[in-house]
Amino acid sequence: MDKIHVIYGSTTGMTEAVAAKIADALGAKVFNVNADDAVAFDAELLVLGSSTWGIGDLQDDWAARLDHVKDSFASKKVAVFGLGDSQGFADSFCVAAETIANAAKDAGATLVGEVLKLDDTNESDKTDEKVAAWVQTVKSAV
Ligand SMILES: Cc1cc2nc3c(=O)[nH]c(=O)nc-3n(C[C@H](O)[C@H](O)[C@H](O)COP(=O)(O)O)c2cc1C
């Protein structure tokens, strides 16, 4: 089994871009959740990323898949990151990432690190620094 897979859902490509950075920093393979690839969820540590849409909703591909894949989180380590807009959606900022983290916890996963919440819409200059610090925490768990 691979050590780490990064799996993302992304509508306009912002979460996809961050997923690529995280995968690069972790030396991990990266998967789009919409590829419906069972292999994606077969790793010791799953790094799951989603943007938030609607008002606090999962990104569409995660919305379609989460119920089907959450059982595969059991006994895995899971780290979660999300992208959102903290100014336009202050009350529902990155809620989708929390939803995925809660689903993983409920399925029996061990959560690694804090849920990383990024606002590439308003604070893209902070993303690289936040990702670098978070990746260190995630690395220390494997
Ligand atoms: C119609 C619409 C609804 C959104 N709803 C939320 C929201 O509830 N919470 C949040 O944090 N961001 C929200 N966002 C911001 C997106 O999550 C943000 O633009 C994100 O970076 C998109 O990432 P993606 O391209 O990977 O899908 C919304 C954006 C749009 C256009």
Please check whether residue 55 lies inside any domain of the structure: yes
Give the domain extent around 27. 2-131
Per-residue pLDDT tens digits for 8-64 = 999 999 999 999 999 999 999 999 999 988 899 999 999 999 999 999 999 999 999
Nearest to 116 by CA among 141, 92, 139, 133: 133
Please check whether residue 48 lies inside any domain of the structure: yes
- Ligand 1: centre distance to CA 1 (Å): 33
Please check whether residue 28 lies inside any domain of the structure: yes
Please check whether residue 122 lies inside any domain of the structure: yes
CATH code (residue 114):
3.40.50.360
Please check whether residue 103 lies inside any domain of the structure: yes
- Which residue ranges have their beta carbon within 6 Å of ligand 1? 10-16, 51-56, 59, 83-85, 89, 92-94, 120-121
Please check whether residue 98 lies inside any domain of the structure: yes
Per-residue pLDDT tens digits for 50-105 = 999 999 999 999 999 999 999 999 989 999 999 999 999 999 999 999 999 999 99
DSSP 46: E
Pocket test for ligand 1, best of 8, 80, 83, 130 (most atoms within 8 A of CB): 83
Q: Is 83 exposed, middle or buried (0-12, 13-18, 19+ CB in 10 A)?
A: buried
Please check whether residue 23 lies inside any domain of the structure: yes
Domain count, the chain: 1
Please check whether residue 125 lies inside any domain of the structure: yes
